[in-house]
Amino acid sequence: MSVLELTLSELLNKPKATLANLRGTRRILLRRRDDEDLVLTTAARADQDLEVMGATSRMFVEMMRTPQGRTLVLDVLPATFPWVRYLPAHDVREFSVELVDALGAATSLDNTAGVAQLLTEWRHTAEVHADPELYAALTTDSGEDYGPVPEPGIAA
């Protein structure tokens, strides 16, 4: 995939010349000094990307409805997500089911944030399983009661 990296200043100072670059590349990555970088593409290319993601997700979801598909997905997960090797077998199966559910929801909402969050959470779970000291620290009961936990967003 062709990505051209430019600065936001280049777009602001030479908008026509900068935008003309979209004819020869799929995306322009606009680097910003004090904020998150931006990606610039054409609406047609963005629609193509969404269509491909949706088709791929729908195909994956339908494939998981068959026993052969579930077996295939479990076989390819370690190649796709190498960190699943650290997960117990039951967690790998749970991850595959949650991934399918998240992909289906993302396609219907046209929003991939939930899938990205799910991948991050499972990758962190694999990190815990990969580190015996961390796993022991997080799974061993200290015998202490630290009291009630306040609800999120409420200052203690």
CA distance linking residue 54 with residue 60, whole number of Å: 10
pLDDT tens sequence for the chain (156 residues): 578 999 999 999 999 998 888 888 889 999 999 899 999 999 998 888 888 888 888 888 888 889 999 899 889 999 999 999 999 999 999 999 999 889 888 888 888 899 999 999 999 999 999 999 999 988 888 788 888 888 887 665
Closest by CA to 73, choosing from 99, 47, 53, is 99
Query: Which helix (H) or strand (E) is 28 found in, with range?
Result: strand 27-31
Going by their DSSP bridges, the two strands 27-31 and 3-7 should be labelled as: parallel
Q: Measure the CA angle with vertex 63, ends 60 and 69; round to 5°.
A: 120
- The strands making up 38-40's β-sheet, listed across from edge to edge, are 3-7, 27-31, 38-40
CA distance linking residue 125 with residue 84, whole number of Å: 9
Q: What pLDDT was estimated at residue 156?
A: 53
pTM over 0.75: no
CA distance linking residue 153 with residue 71, whole number of Å: 42
CA distance linking residue 94 with residue 105, whole number of Å: 17
Query: Which helix (H) or strand (E) is 110 found in, with range?
Result: none
